[in-house]
Amino acid sequence: MKTFSMLLIAALVLGSSPAWSQGDEGTPGTQDQTRERVMERIENDPTLDAGQRERMRENLRQCEQLGLAPDELNALFPDGSPGYSPQARLRIQEQVMTLAHEGRPVDLICDKMDEGRLKGASEPAMTRVTEQVAENLRFAHRYLQQAQNEGIKGPNNPAQQQHLERGVALDRWRGLEEGEFDQLRDRARDRARVGDCDLTDLCAAA
């Protein structure tokens, strides 16, 4: 369980770290400034055909409506040569929008996109990574929801709930096995029956 504690600490540190950025993305600016920059990139992107350009415009509008922050928009609509095909970028944008609709913390995928560009990851590799992060986020939501269904009290604050989901998703990304998650939940459920144990305790279990 000491390994689990170390993973959680690393998750909290990484989860609060700013995403790597390039070009004018180093200073995201206000939401309005970011929208103008991103729209300019879309309009000037020579790799887009007319249909893809319109989908990008609509994706930008929806991302803003969903409340994505400037650094997240910059990750999904990068400056300069993004290195990935329009089809791949559109798929990832729409994947992130779906997660945001579900209430999942989408900053993890945006961070991975920034990392991928920094490391020169191939398009297939980036696609696999974003799909895995999305799967981990949904696993985290199901895991914590099941814990609550079993009597473990959850936070009232949606932001805190997302913070816990982010930590669980990162732990799974780093290799924590599903059986280990189950053992932690079983212990937390037993504690909840005889005393006070909530989801924060579950995620900090050692």
Closest of 71, 82, 102 to residue 42, by C-alpha: 82
pLDDT at 92 over 90: yes
pLDDT digits 0-9 by tens, 30-88: 889 999 999 999 999 999 999 999 999 999 999 999 999 999 999 999 876 667 899 99
In the chain, % of residues over pLDDT 70: 74
How far CA 83 is from CA of 59, 80, 155, 182, 196, in Å, comes to 19, 9, 40, 39, 50
Please list, in sequence order, all residues whose beta carbon lies within 8 angstroms of the beta carbon of residue 110, skipping any fewer than 6 positions away.
Answer: 19, 71, 72, 75, 76, 96
The residue among 22 and 137 whose pLDDT is bigger is 137
Task: Let me know if 194 is exposed, middle or buried by CB neighbors in 10 A (0-12, 13-18, 19+).
Answer: exposed
Task: Let me know if 145 is exposed, middle or buried by CB neighbors in 10 A (0-12, 13-18, 19+).
Answer: middle
**pLDDT number for residue 79:** 77
The model carries a pTM of: 0.76
Q: Which helix (H) or strand (E) holds 82?
A: none
pLDDT at 161 over 70: yes
Cα(153)–Cα(64) distance, integer angstroms: 32
